[in-house]
Structure 1
Amino acid sequence: MGRTVAAILIVLGLAACEPRGEIVVVPEAARANAVESVYVGTTRAADPQTGDAFSKDRSQVTRYARLDVAIPPDRKPGEIRWTPPRRKPDPRTDFLTTHEELYSDAPTFRADLARALAKERRNTREAVIFVHGFNTTFAEGAYRLAQLGHDLGLHGALVHYSWPSLGHPLGYAYDRDSALFARDGLESLLDEVVAAGAERMVIVAHSMGSALTMETLRQLAISRNAAVQRRIAAVVLISPDIDVDVFRAEAMRIGTLPKPFLIFTSKKDRALALSARLSGQRDRLGNVTDVTEIADLNVTLLDTTAFSTGTGHFNAGNSPALLAILGRIADVDAALAASQVGRPGLLPGAVLTVQSATQIVLSPVAAISGITP
């Protein structure tokens, strides 16, 4: 118990060191900065007492919005800086919103998203759906997707599903229940994205958002929602906070998993180590570095332990080298299909295939990734 308490104190200490993300609207930040538009579906309710349009409270109705986010030039890839309280926003260093659009209904959201998708050529109209994780505010999730979209040079539409996280390091039980509550909202958002004309969807989920994603994929399979299922071109789970046996049962019920199906893991993920300890387990899925535990599933396990810094809970989004790898999902999929993962220059690491699963132990080799990790 002593070690558990110590781990909790570490997490609390790390959370207290940084200001929490909030929406700060500065229209003039668009003048010199790159701007990423993030389309949002959310089951966060408004809080009339605080005036927060997207609070920690739960809403049975999925609401829709768009944030135009200015990306500051003075930062490293993977880095997000917030405006601290009582300090004037600085567009050179801070992530800021240049425009916030709150849609009156789903058809209005769908029409605006359709216009964005129509800017791409047919057969290239893609949407990246990001599902945030535990202890995340509305702003933090949306800005994280804007950062990923900018750093990875993603084309198509950036779509964020913001489920009602408490946004507090001691809110684990609340967030776990909220993730279950939010399944229908995620399915509704996917329906809207398909109706808007997305020909392909890539779902990227982090931490507890991975559990929500897997439950929703299972729900789609049970309801036989083929219109959405056939548009899901890839799934990426980053540091998934899921029981390994539950994940296997969900995957079996889903049936044929989207391909590629990538799972970023790390043995040095301290947040998941704490989650495992609190649940009386050895590992969560995001801690697994032994591919034999999920060898019966057609997935690719990317071991990022060598890149871990801090809590090690978002290596794929924070590390410039891993961002470069994440940006080459299509290349990884093609190589796996052609059994070329050992080809020099494709992936910096050792490759092991056991039954249906493939494990790649990534190593920070600057010559291969092209940038310093």
Structure 2
Amino acid sequence: MILRALALVACLAIAACAPRGTVVVMPEAASVGEVERVFIGSTRRNDGAGENYSRNRGYQTRFARFDVSIPPDRELGSLPWPPRNGAPDPRKHMLTTGSAGYDDDAAFRAALRSEMASQRKGAREAVIFVHGFNNTFAEGLYRFAQLHHDMALPGVPVHYSWPSRGTPLGYAYDRDSALFARDGLEHLIRQVAAAGADRIFLVAHSMGSGLTMEALRQLAIRGDQPTLRRIGGVILISPDIDVDVFRAQARMVGKLPQPFVVFTSARDRALALSARLAGESARLGNVRDVAVLAGLEVTLLEVGAFSQGDGHFTAGTSPTLIRLLNRISDMDNALGGDARSRVGLLPGAVLTVQGATQIILSPVVALGEGLAQ
């Protein structure tokens, strides 16, 4: 077992030698692709012109906006980086068309308020994405632009970029950085609420899920119920969280925002390695038995049947699964209601244990409904 874990670590180290994604600016791409305007809150330190958002930690939350072009010639769920050598093609590659920085909280709130002004008053929404382990600034930004576009997520996109080291061998550094970044995420959530968002959706991946739960826990400890009431739903994708820790976090938060959805996969190799290194049978993102979450109002979506590769971000990379989720006309009803309301909206086996619901999605059903076309 130890040798197998070491072999996986070695494979990750080899993968680290591959070129990493970077922000490439091409303003003319705005006339070719569909532009996602992503607002940024970051605790990555500015280490100079070439490292404006570095892997190092900064105590101040900095704010910006990046406009990302989604190319038309792209498979659903893919993230096509421009080549390191050669000219980028706006029809094939994700590119940045423009950006802006904000000097302080007030300037950021004003820009975000202006962006949300097109939404109906009383129904203004924003979605905050928190990236996971081993992400550069560019990778988190472009992945969220792709996810927001492909999954048609609601509201204005806001990305929280915390100081991941951006290497597979930096797990301990990233775990500590996620704890370091709790205050920054809490501050960002408050700024989004102060900008006029009536509902804020939180979407987090991997290690970012633990960071997100810690921020919710801090809001509860501070008694900030007005901000917590603005949280209109939470989605944790492949959360790298100890199950007992998650239960303790949820207990402190109290009534969890609804819908509260956890994407799980029994085929998630990254979480299998994380569990082995922690001496556990599973992490939250690859639990097999919904009973371990009995008493919590959460919905587990088991998507392992759709997984490819390491299976650690299936919800955002599987074209078939994305099409399936996009066909759900009423996500709040499907994921926030009782088990009976989910039947027919989310095809698959459904099991409910004391409030916690597990839905095992099947690609066979999806293909039968024409979702892979």
* Shorter-normalised TM range: over 0.9
Look up the match of 2:32.
32
Look up the match of 1:316.
315
Over 3 Å counting, the alpha-carbon distance change for 1:252 and 1:329 in structure 2 is farther
Matched residues in 2 for 1:197 and 1:175: separation?
Answer: 32
Look up the match of 2:114.
115
Structure 2 gap segments, 5+ residues each: none
Look up the match of 1:229.
228
Q: Tell whether 2:284 aligns with 1:291.
A: no
Q: Where do 1:203-282 residues align within 5 Å?
A: 203-282=202-281
Over 3 Å counting, the alpha-carbon distance change for 1:337 and 1:153 in structure 2 is closer
Look up the match of 2:76.
77
Look up the match of 2:44.
44
Over 3 Å counting, the alpha-carbon distance change for 1:99 and 1:277 in structure 2 is same
Where 1:98 maps in the other structure, the secondary structure is strand
Q: Deviations over 1:72-111 (max 9, x none)?
A: 1111111001123222211111110000111111111110
Q: CA deviation at 1:305?
A: 1.0
Q: Tell whether 2:168 aligns with 1:140.
A: no
Q: Deviations over 1:181-209 (max 9, x none)?
A: 00000011011101111010110000000
Look up the match of 1:371.
371
Where 2:4 maps in the other structure, the secondary structure is helix
Say whether the 8 Å CA contact 1:43–1:163 is kept in structure 2: yes
Q: Tell whether 2:179 aligns with 1:180.
A: yes
The residue identity in structure 2 corresponding to 1:34 is E
Task: State the number of aligned residues.
Answer: 370
Q: CA deviation at 1:319?
A: 1.0
Q: CA deviation at 1:274?
A: 1.0
Say whether the 8 Å CA contact 1:11–1:271 is kept in structure 2: no
Say whether the 8 Å CA contact 1:347–1:362 is kept in structure 2: yes
Over 3 Å counting, the alpha-carbon distance change for 1:249 and 1:328 in structure 2 is farther
Q: Deviations over 1:174-233 (max 9, x none)?
A: 000000000000011011101111010110000000000011111010001122101001
Matched residues in 2 for 1:360 and 1:306: separation?
Answer: 12
The residue identity in structure 2 corresponding to 1:95 is M
Matched residues in 1 for 2:342 and 2:149: separation?
Answer: 29
Q: CA deviation at 1:156?
A: 2.1
Say whether the 8 Å CA contact 1:306–1:363 is kept in structure 2: yes
Matched residues in 1 for 2:331 and 2:195: separation?
Answer: 28
Q: Tell whether 2:30 aligns with 1:23.
A: no
Q: Deviations over 1:1-31 (max 9, x none)?
A: 21111111232344445x3121111111111
Matched residues in 2 for 1:187 and 1:347: separation?
Answer: 32
RMSD: 1.7
Q: CA deviation at 1:251?
A: 0.6
The residue identity in structure 2 corresponding to 1:132 is H
Look up the match of 1:7.
8
Look up the match of 2:330.
331
Where 2:204 maps in the other structure, the secondary structure is strand
Say whether the 8 Å CA contact 1:66–1:102 is kept in structure 2: yes
Look up the match of 1:54.
53
Matched residues in 2 for 1:275 and 1:367: separation?
Answer: 32
TM-score (norm 1): 0.95
Say whether the 8 Å CA contact 1:44–1:54 is kept in structure 2: yes
Where 2:340 maps in the other structure, the secondary structure is coil
Over 3 Å counting, the alpha-carbon distance change for 1:170 and 1:52 in structure 2 is same
Look up the match of 2:166.
167
Say whether the 8 Å CA contact 2:147–2:316 is kept in structure 1: yes
Say whether the 8 Å CA contact 1:348–1:368 is kept in structure 2: no
Say whether the 8 Å CA contact 1:295–1:354 is kept in structure 2: yes
Over 3 Å counting, the alpha-carbon distance change for 1:178 and 1:326 in structure 2 is farther
Look up the match of 1:91.
90
Q: Tell whether 2:313 aligns with 1:304.
A: no
TM-score (norm 2): 0.95
Q: CA deviation at 1:368?
A: 6.1
Say whether the 8 Å CA contact 1:347–1:368 is kept in structure 2: no
Q: Deviations over 1:314-337 (max 9, x none)?
A: 000001232234447773441452
Look up the match of 1:103.
102
Matched residues in 1 for 2:320 and 2:121: separation?
Answer: 31
Structure 1 gap segments, 5+ residues each: none
Matched residues in 2 for 1:103 and 1:112: separation?
Answer: 9
The residue identity in structure 2 corresponding to 1:203 is L
Q: CA deviation at 1:235?
A: 0.3
Matched residues in 1 for 2:13 and 2:187: separation?
Answer: 34
